């Protein structure tokens, strides 16, 4: 029996349906992020964050790509603010990243500003992209009466499309008029793209009875495999701390937080983390090597790790949050290789999505990682369930127990190589069809 070919009318109906679906996706995307349902791993609400002295925020709708929502945020920082940053090492990094890298470590006596747009990454746009960054920086500098060298910009969204700076500069009066200490949540929402929720975190402690506060926000959902930092992250504190000390601290903590997450193994052209210390707290200055510095670093690391985890929890299409723990490696570098191989493996991630305890895929990932490994020393566990050891399935392993464990929303995969003291931890998510749905028509 032969199968009938679709009639011309049927083909037209199919084409019309595809067109209507594309329009619906564009309409949904014109709302916050993609308009997709909020990730099942999202926190219940955006956190209540105490204002940080010396910084104000505003957001506005500039129409860079999305309609009916804010897509630009502005932060104004007090004179004397120290700013540290880490950036993508991508060979095709954006014009804004190159500009911001050049400005880090410059004079800090004057005020400063951070401006971020969503919808257009201004990456791979040649000299035109450089000019757009310069034009925006000059306009912000004039509006806020600060040097353009103290204006840091970021852009996120579609790569390869020219950014029209006029749309952003036309919104500066609205942004400047709306600057307020409690505008952080609005700023966080303005920079989202495929995110399903805005991401914020904060903390604080006292120095001799005087409070020091830290608050920040991030965006990120896909193209997440940081190679220095991550997505876009902005963290603010009212602590008094010198720029070199702040930079060294950020670089160190970044390696233990944002550089330990992955959603899809793709490194963005726009990855940026900026950390600003306004010095407006009445607390004494933070000096390296002191107990106070250690306390500050601990709170800062907690904020950074919280934001990093939220990015993974909002991974495009994600339904599972996964921690990959590697121990017993020959050294830390080998441990990181194994953790990355497991966390980025499409076969491991799809097994997680299907709630299948297919531990053989973990064995595969260890073997391909390039790290030193010996079959008869390797041990694998899912949570507290020992799955494999000594080159074979563990004697007490029961598939039913592992299958029940895989139904959880948060999972731990443990790998012990049995070779040394090297250790590493990475965080990832599962890989579902939702990831394909989002990225197959990202520009539609």
What is the distance, to the nearest Å, from the Cα of residue 93 to the centroid of all Cα atoms in its chain?
16
Long-range contacts of 97-104 (CB under 8 A, 24+ apart): 97/154, 97/269, 97/270, 97/271, 97/272, 98/130, 99/130, 99/133, 99/134, 99/137, 99/152, 99/153, 100/152, 100/153, 100/154, 100/272, 100/274, 103/149, 103/150, 103/152, 104/247
SS3 of residue 407 by DSSP: coil
Q: What is the CA radius of gyration of the chain?
A: 23
Tokens of 236: 């603010």
d(CA 77, CA 182): 14
d(CA 59, CA 24): 26
d(CA 216, CA 55): 11
Strands 272-277 and 321-329, bridge-based pairing? unpaired
Q: Which of 230, 240, 267, 432 is catalytic?
A: 230
DSSP readout, 169-204?
HTTHHHHHHH-BTT-HHHHHHHT-SS-SS-EEEEEE
d(CA 255, CA 252): 6
d(CA 33, CA 192): 5
Tokens of 343: 């966390």
Q: Catalytic: 230?
A: yes
Catalytic machinery residues: 230
């Amino acid at each position: 029996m032969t199968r009938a070919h679709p009639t011309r009318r049927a083909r037209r109906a199919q084409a019309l349906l595809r067109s209507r679906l594309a329009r619906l996706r564009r309409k949904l995307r014109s709302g916050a992020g993609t308009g997709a349902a909020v990730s099942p791993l999202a926190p219940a609400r955006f956190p209540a964050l105490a204002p940080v002295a010396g910084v104000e925020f505003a957001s506005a709708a500039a129409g860079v790509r999305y309609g009916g929502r804010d897509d630009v945020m502005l932060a104004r920082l007090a004179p004397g603010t120290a700013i540290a940053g880490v950036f993508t090492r991508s060979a095709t990094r954006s014009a804004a990243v190159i500009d911001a890298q050049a400005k880090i470590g410059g004079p800090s006596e004057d005020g400063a500003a951070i401006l971020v747009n969503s919808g257009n990454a201004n990456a791979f746009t040649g000299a035109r992209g450089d000019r757009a960054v310069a034009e925006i920086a000059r306009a912000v500098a004039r509006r806020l009466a600060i040097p353009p060298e103290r204006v840091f910009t970021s852009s996120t969204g579609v790569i390869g499309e020219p950014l029209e700076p006029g749309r952003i500069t036309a919104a500066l009066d609205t942004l400047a008029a709306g600057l307020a200490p409690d505008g952080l949540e609005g700023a966080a929402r303005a920079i989202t793209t495929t995110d399903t929720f805005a991401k914020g975190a904060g903390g604080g402690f006292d120095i001799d009875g005087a409070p020091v506060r830290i608050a920040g926000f991030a965006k990120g959902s896909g193209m997440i495999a940081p190679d220095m930092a991550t997505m876009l992250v902005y963290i603010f504190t009212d602590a008094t701390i010198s720029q070199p000390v702040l930079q060294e601290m950020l670089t160190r903590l970044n390696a233990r937080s944002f550089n330990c997450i992955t959603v899809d193994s793709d490194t963005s052209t726009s990855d940026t983390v900026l950390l600003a210390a306004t010095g407006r707290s009445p607390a004494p200055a933070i000096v390296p090597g002191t107990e106070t510095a250690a306390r500050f670093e601990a709170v800062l690391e907690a904020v950074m790790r919280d934001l990093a985890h939220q990015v993974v929890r909002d991974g495009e299409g994600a339904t599972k949050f996964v921690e990959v723990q590697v121990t017993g490696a020959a050294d830390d570098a080998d441990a990181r290789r194994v953790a990355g191989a497991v966390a980025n493996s499409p076969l491991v991630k799809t097994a997680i999505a299907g709630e299948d305890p297919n531990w053989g895929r973990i064995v595969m990932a260890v073997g391909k990682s390039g790290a030193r490994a010996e079959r008869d020393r390797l041990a694998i566990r899912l949570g507290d369930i020992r799955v494999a050891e000594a080159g074979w399935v563990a004697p007490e392993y029961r598939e039913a127990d592992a299958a029940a464990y895989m139904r959880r929303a948060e999972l731990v995969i443990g790998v012990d190589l049995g070779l040394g003291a090297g250790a590493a931890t990475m965080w990832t998510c599962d890989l579902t069809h939702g990831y394909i749905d989002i990225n197959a028509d990202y520009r539609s």
